[in-house]
Amino acid sequence: MNTSRFSVYRVISGTLLVLAFLASQAVFATTSRVALVIGNADYSSSSAQSLKNPVRDAKGMSEALKKLKFQVLRLENANQATMENAFRAFGQKLKADAKTHDDVVALFYYSGHGAQVNGKNYLLSVNSNTNYDVTDVKRSGVVPLTKLFKELNAADKTTNIIILDACRDNPPTKKVANRNTKSAVVKGLEWLEEVETAADNASGADSSDPKNTFLAFATARDKVAEDGYGVNSPYTQHLLNHIRTPGLSVVKLFRKVGNLVEKDTYGKQVPWKSSSLRGAFYFQEALKNPSFDIGFEDAPPSF
C-alpha cells in the first residue's frame, strides 16, 4: 500500500470531519431557540377547578425542548404576577439574542385553564377569580394572551411557535358581567385576538397577532380539551411522542398530532392550527448522514 497516499487520505478525511464539526457549531451558534413553558394545575386558591396533568405536561415539554436545543424557562402553578414577569423576561431574552444570532426561535407552551371573552384569549393564573369580570385583569387575576404578543412583536424578526393546551374540562363557565362590558366567559379559546382599544393598551405596544407565527390549539374554537386519564393530556402526550421525529415539519407534526387526538377522543376533541410562517420549521432536522452526526449531549442552560 502506498503509505504517502494513505497519509494524504487521512489528512483530507480528518480535515473534512473538522470542517463538518465547525459547520455544525456555526449553525448552532447563529440560531437561538428559547422557550417559555407554563403548567398551571393547582387552582385550589382560585375560582377554577384544579387539574391533574398540566404540571406534568409542562415538565415533559421542557425536557423534550431541551433535547431539541431550546433554552427553557419553566413555571409551575404560576400566579398572575409571576406569569407577567415571565413574559417580560422572555421578551428581553428574545431581544438580546436577536442582537447576537442570525435566527431566533421563540416557543411558548401553556397547559391549564383558558377562557375566551369577547373574542380575546385569557390564560388563568392559579390565583384567578372569575367571579369578577375577566376583562378586569387586575381583579380577576387572569393574564391576557396579548401580553405575550406584545413581547413577541417587540422582539421582532423571530420565528414564533405558540402551543395552547387549553381550555380543559370543567373550566369556569359562569356568566360574569359588570354593567359596562357585560362580558361572558366562554369555553375554549378564540383563534385570533381582536384589536385592543386604547384603554386596553395604554402602553401603546403592538398587541396584534405576531408575524411569522405558528399557533397550535389543543381543540377547536369554543371547545374544551380533555385533561386525560394518563400521565399527560391526550394532546401533549401525542406531541411529546412525535416532536423529536427527524425531518417532520411543524405543520406535518401538528397535523399528525391532531389526527391522533381526534381518534383517541372519538372525535370529541379536534385540535386546530393557524400559521403565518414564512418558511418551513423543523424541531428536528432530517439526518442526512447519521453515521457522521455530531450531537451535543448537554442541553443549553436555562435562562
Mean pLDDT of the chain: 79
Task: Please report the pLDDT score of residue 302 as a whole number.
Answer: 54
Task: Please report the pLDDT score of residue 1 as a whole number.
Answer: 52
Task: Please report the pLDDT score of residue 38 as a whole number.
Answer: 98
pTM: 0.78
Contacts of 84 (CB under 8 A, 6+ apart): 143, 147
Q: Which amino acid, residue 236?
A: T
Kindly provide the b/e burial profile for residues 216-226, where b requires at least 16 CB atoms within 10 angstroms of the residue's own CB.
bbbbbeebbbb
Top-confidence residue, 211 or 188: 211
Cβ(146)–Cβ(195) below 8 Å = no
Assign 178 a pLDDT band (cuts: 50, 70, 90). very low
DSSP-assigned beta bridge partners for residue 33: 105
Task: Please report the pLDDT score of residue 227 as a whole number.
Answer: 67
Task: Please report the pLDDT score of residue 248 as a whole number.
Answer: 96
Long-range contacts of the stretch 62-68 (C-beta < 8 A, 24+) = 62/35, 62/37, 64/240, 64/243, 64/244, 65/33, 65/35, 65/37, 65/107, 65/109, 66/299, 66/300, 67/244, 67/299, 68/33, 68/243, 68/244, 68/283, 68/284
Cβ(159)–Cβ(281) below 8 Å = yes
What HEC string does the chain produce? Answer: CCHHHHHHHHHHHHHHHHHHHHHHHHHHHHEEEEEEEEECCCCCCCCCCCCCCHHHHHHHHHHHHHHCCCEEEEEECCCHHHHHHHHHHHHHHHHHHHHHCCEEEEEEEEECCEEEECCEEEEECCCCCCCCCCCCHHHHCEEECHHHHHHHHHHCCEEEEEEEECCCCCCCCCCCCCCCCCCCCECCCCCCCCCCCCCCCCCCCCCCCCCCEEEEECCCCCCCCCCCCCCCCHHHHHHHHHCCCCCCEHHHHHHHHHHHHHHHCCCCCCCEEEECCCCCCECCCCCCCHHHCCCCCCCCCCC
What's the rounded mean pLDDT across residues 179-199? 43
Question: Does residue 263 surpass a pLDDT of 90?
Answer: yes
Task: Please report the pLDDT score of residue 135 as a whole number.
Answer: 81
Nine-digit cell at 227?
385533561
Half-sphere exposure of 103 (CA within 13 A, CB side): 14
Q: Tens digits of per-residue pLDDT, 124-163?
A: 999 998 788 878 888 889 999 999 999 999 998 899 999 9
**Locate cell 382599544: which residue?**
197
What's the rounded mean pLDDT across residues 32-47? 93
Assign 14 a pLDDT band (cuts: 50, 70, 90). very low
Give the domain 33-292 fold.
Rossmann fold (3.40.50)
Q: Tens digits of per-residue pLDDT, 229-244?
A: 778 999 999 999 999 9
